[in-house]
Structure formats: C-alpha cells, structure tokens
Chain A
Amino acid sequence: MSTQTEKSPVIGKKSSPRSEAFKTFMKRLLKNKAAVIGGLVILFIILVGIIGPFLSKTDPNAQDILNKLQPPSKDHWFGTDNFGRDIFTRIVFGTKLTLKVGFLSVLIGGVVGIVLGIVSGYYGGIIDTLIMRVMDVLLAFPGILLALAIVSVLGGSLTNVIIAVGIFSVPAFARIVRGSTLQVKKLEYIDAVRALGASDGRIIFKHILPNIMSPIIVQATMRIATAILTASGLAFLGLGAQPPEPEWGAMLSDGRAYMHNASHMVMFPGMMIVIVVLAFNIFGDGLRDALDPKMKQ
C-alpha cells in the first residue's frame, strides 16, 4: 500500500457517527417487542444447543423397547419413539445439529455470495455479467431442488447438507450484495477516496463492505430460517443426517409410520422446527425495520 493511502484522511473519526447510528438502531430494535422475543428465543435455543447435552442425564440413543411409543408423561416429557428413546432428550441433542446446519450453511453461502456480489457490483462489465448469469442458473432450480440435487450426488450426510444448503444460499446473497454495492459505489465519497489513491481492496473492505452490512445482516438472519427449513426437509427425505442422529427432520420422518397411535413423534420435532424458524424470521423482520425505518410506515 502506498504511503499516500496511509496519509489519506479517511473521513476522520468515522466511528462516532457509526456508533451513533448503532445506538439509534439498538433503540429501535429494543422497542420492537416481537423482535426482542424472537432474539431471546434464539439465544435460548443456542444455550440449549450448547449446554443442553451436558445437562441431560439420558442418552439420546438409549433404546428402551419395553417403553416404546409412550405418550408424553412425567418421565418422558415429549414421549418416546418407536425404539423407546426419549424424544425430549433427542430434541435437546438435535438442537445443536439444527443450529449447526443453519449457521454454517449461511456462513458458507454468505461468504461466497458476498465476495461474488461485491466483485460483480464493484468491477462490473464482463465479470459482472458472468457471475450474475451463473447466479441465474443456480436460481433456475426452484426451491429445495438445487440442494436436493447436490445432496443426491454427494450422498446424504450432515456435512453434505451444509454444503448443499450453503450453495443454495449463494445467489440470494450475491444479488443483494451486488445491488447494495452498486448503490454505494455511486456515492461521491467513494470517488473521493479513489482519487486519493486508495487501492481496490482498501475501498472494498474499508468503505463498501461496512456500508452494506445492514442488508447482509438482515438477509443472513432470514436465510438461517430458510436453511433450517431446507435442511430439515432434506433430512425428512432421508438425505440429511443419517440415523441414529437426532435430527429433527429425520425424527419427523421416523414418526410418520406411527402417526395413528403416536402422533407426538411427529408433533414435537415439527413444533421445534416452527419455533426456531419463526424466531429467526421475527428477529429478521425486526432487524430490517430497525435498520431501515423507511420500510416501516
């Protein structure tokens, strides 16, 4: 990096307006009761995922055939499954799997998508066209189909589901990031920074990326919800975590055969998926409203 760049006055004391903006953002977010509840539920689920397994005295895979298909009771809060395993324990242990898929796949999809989106928006031209056409191709596989196709060839496993759902998330990030990059690029101060001799890398990381974080954060939150839904769908189809892993979608699938006499096997895993996905969606809505009050009337 040239010395000139070092000397360039990078909009001095830039942290203060930013921290000011962060304060108003937090104020708005905390005023939104639904978002706060959503955030608390997410925190709680994360806690359960991390420390739940240590607190549990039961083995999620301990079979007790004599007590199979028991309805919810004091001993088995969510009942037992067809092998007599305690569903509550399995759900607690499965929390980690769900969160792992949600966060890791969005991390993969997010990083790749952000890089592609910024490169596309910043450089434009043929690179932009090329990247965006590839994204169009990925988007041409509707819904769960892309992830399904990838997992079908890679083989069903939690890692492969994370990869597949990650790839499935790339285009959404790339498109949003590209759009925001184009907007920020138009701002005059980017021209000013460039005129001062800043390198592309510096402009991208110091000036563009911080300015487009809001839509990225909102998108990431919502995408975690989608990722969890997609991954549990794959697991339901038998293409995710393999037995006896206590994956919620897989547990649901196991319960199908016993629906007529042990509906709790289907009920509880499904409810958990809804709660987690709902929490992320509500929190994402709240983040969006707090970051962009124009969206809200």
Chain B
Amino acid sequence: MTKYIIRRLLQTIPVLLGVSILVFSLMFLIPGDPAQVMAGEGASAQTVENLREKLGLNDPAYVQYGRYLSSALQGDLGNSIRSGRPVMEEIQTRFWVTLEVAIYSTILAVFIGLIAGIISAVRHYTLTDVSIMIIALFGLSMPNFWLGLLLIQWFALGNLPFDIPFPEFLKMRPSGWGDTWRQMVLPVITLGTGGAAIIARMTRSSMLEVIGQDYIRTARAKGVSERVVIYRHALKNALIPVVTIIGLEFGGFLGGAVLTETIFAINGMGRLTIDAIRQRDFPVVQGTVLVISLLFVVVNLLVDISYKFLNKRIDLN
C-alpha cells in the first residue's frame, strides 16, 4: 500500500510538469504578438514594448518557462495586467467560494446519485427504474447553464411554469439569506443534479453486475434476507467502481464553475477566469487554469488511493 502511494505520487510529478508547460505555452498560442494582444489594439509601441519587457517575452522560451516554473513553485504566478495585483492574491480571495460550491455539489451528486442508482438497480426493469433512468438521461443531457437559468427563472424571479404561485419567502433577495440562496443553493443544485445523473447510471450498472455474481447467490443460499443481500453483500462491492468517478465529478464541478459563476454572478475563480479572458489578462487566465488543474490532480490522487485501499482485496486475485 505504501509502495502504491509512493508510486502514484511519483507518477503525478510528470503530469504536474506537463500541466505547467501547457499552461505556460498558452501564451505562445496567442495568434500574433502576445504583448500587442494583451495591451490592446490601440496601445502605443512603447506600451507594448514595456509590457513585453515586463513579461520577459524577449527571452528564449525555455528561459521564460524556467522562470515561470520557479516562481510558480514559490507561489508567485505573476501580476494581473489589468489590476496590477499579484495573480495569487486575486485567486486566494476567490478560491474558497469555488471550492465550497464544488464540494457541496459533489456531496449532493453522490447522495442523490447513489440513492437513485440503488433504487433503480433493486427494482430493475420496473416503472420506477425506467423513470429514474429517463430522468438521469435528461440530467446527463441538460446543459448546466440552461438549468441554472431555469432555476433563476423559477426560484429567483418566481416565475414557475403553469402559474404555480411561488412562495414569497423563497424568492431571492438582494441581501442576507437571498445571497446564500443564489450563491450556494442554486449553483449546487445546478451542478449537483448533472453529476447525480452520472453517478446514478454508474451505480445502477455496477449494482446489476454485482447482483449477478456467484457470491450473491451464495448469500441467498445461506438464508440471508433480500435486504441484507442488497445492502451488505452487493452494495459494498458495487460502490468500489463508483468511487473512481467521484474525483472526475469534482473536477467537472470545478471546471463548470466558469458557467455557474457567470450565471449566478458568484465571485469565484470561474468568473475570475472568464473576466480575465474577456480582458485578455492572460497571467490571470494562466493562474486560474493552473490552480484549478492542480486541485483536480490532487483530488484524483486521493480518489485513486482510496480506491486502491477499498479494492486491495480484490485486486490481488
């Protein structure tokens, strides 16, 4: 086990290096002169030259990367072109907002997804199962930015379809509880439902596969009740593969933040990224992309290790 963790940690290093190289080279993918693009169309030649000098764009690429990496390792991601503030500082204030939404969304997705998936598997091919799976397919196919807008339409603006009167107290208010509602509850529902759909589908197929296994028949032959068969013998085995997608889901929520934070006007890293893209503030774009990816890699590492931990007994076969 320790050996596996060490090996897995070592494997992460080239990935992290690759991520940093890719993020760094974003600058070189900019068509034309990056300094000109960042400074804007109307900037004077002097401004462009100053910017170029400031960003070190006159040095060879590998020197620039070396500088980028070493300062990034020290927690310095450069300065924002627009605000002049360190990128790290800009990110720090917004990091937790995004992380919080992603964590709650993951919890919601796992909670709903597992329950729906288990019910579906236990009652497979019944009306319940078919209904759950149809809803899950919709959840999978629904653009989360559209769902977000619909939720605003219904809950924030109070325009429920079919003229259902909307409870006044639930309406989003400019301050106080309304803020939480808008900044946390609706975004979490928006992101979490899509994730729940994926987890439900995965749990169902995993459960069905396990229920067909020989050891489930053995359990029944022992005189174990159906409840115990499902929840003690099947579920524990079925959950193992489901664990692997939780990390992916979490990452999806981090990435999805660019959309939800735009829709719900949340001041998190996603919105920071989009604003920076619009303002061509590339150091900030690089910074947020790097930080989100790092976080994702770390979470996946943890998921992989816990998977290995859960699965070690089977794996040795």
Contacts and interface: CB of A to CB of B under 8 A. Distances in A.
B273 A274 contact: no
Given A239-B277, A274-B141, A263 B159 contact: yes
Contacts of A82: none
A297 B212 CA distance: 8
A160 to B, nearest CB: 10
B255 interface: yes
A225 interface: yes
B155 interface: no
Interface stretch (B26-34, B45-53, B177-185): B26-34
B153 A140 contact: no
Given A145-B289, A274-B142, A153 B296 contact: no
B235 interface: no
A27 B297 CA distance: 43
Chain A facing B: main interface SS: helix
Given A133-B18, A136-B15, A153-B30, A143 B256 contact: yes
A140 B296 contact: yes
A225 B141 contact: yes
B293 A142 contact: yes
B122 interface: no
Contacts of A259: 149, 152-153, 157
A205 interface: no
What range describes how many residues of B lie at the interface? 35 or more
A133 B11 CA distance: 9
Interface stretch (A58-66, A83-91, A229-237): A229-237
A232 B145 CA distance: 9
B115 interface: no
A140 B19 contact: yes
A144 B270 CA distance: 11
Contacts of B256: 143-144
A47 interface: no
A237 B273 CA distance: 11
B174 interface: no
A154 B26 CA distance: 9
A136 B21 CA distance: 13
A170 interface: no
A148 interface: yes
B252 interface: yes
Interface string A263-274: 100100010011
A136 B157 CA distance: 43
Interface string B1-29: 00000000000001110110111001101
A249 B263 CA distance: 13
A273 B143 contact: yes
Contacts of A143: 251-256
B153 A142 contact: no
B31 A155 contact: yes
A277 interface: yes
A134 to B, nearest CB: 7
B259 interface: yes
Interface residues of A, number: 44
B149 A148 contact: no
B141 A137 contact: no
A137 B18 CA distance: 6
Interface string B270-289: 00011001100010010001
Contacts of A281: 137, 140-141
A189 interface: no
A137 B19 contact: yes
Nearest to A238: B278
Interface in A132-161: 133-134, 136-138, 140-145, 148-150, 152-155
Contacts of B140: 281
Contacts of A274: 138, 141-143, 146
A227 to B, nearest CB: 12
A142 B251 contact: yes
A198 interface: no
B153 A153 contact: no
A141 B143 contact: no
A141 B255 contact: yes
A148 B138 contact: no
B112 interface: no
A141 B293 contact: yes
Interface in A248-269: 249, 252, 255-256, 259-260, 263, 266
B143 A140 contact: no
Contact of A278 (B19, B138, B250): B138
B123 to A, nearest CB: 13
Nearest to B205: A295
B262 interface: yes
A53 B94 CA distance: 45
A232 to B, nearest CB: 6
B259 A236 contact: yes
B317 to A, nearest CB: 19
Given A259-B153, A281-B137, A154 B29 contact: yes
8 A-B pairs with least C-beta separation? A143-B255, A142-B251, A137-B18, A270-B146, A278-B141, A277-B141, A142-B255, A145-B255
9 contacts: A142-B251, A142-B252, A148-B273, A233-B144, A249-B145, A252-B145, A266-B149, A281-B137, A297-B208
Given A133-B18, A144-B258, 15 more contacts: A143-B256, A145-B258, A148-B273, A150-B29, A225-B141, A232-B143, A233-B143, A233-B144, A237-B259, A252-B145, A255-B149, A256-B149, A266-B146, A281-B137, A282-B137
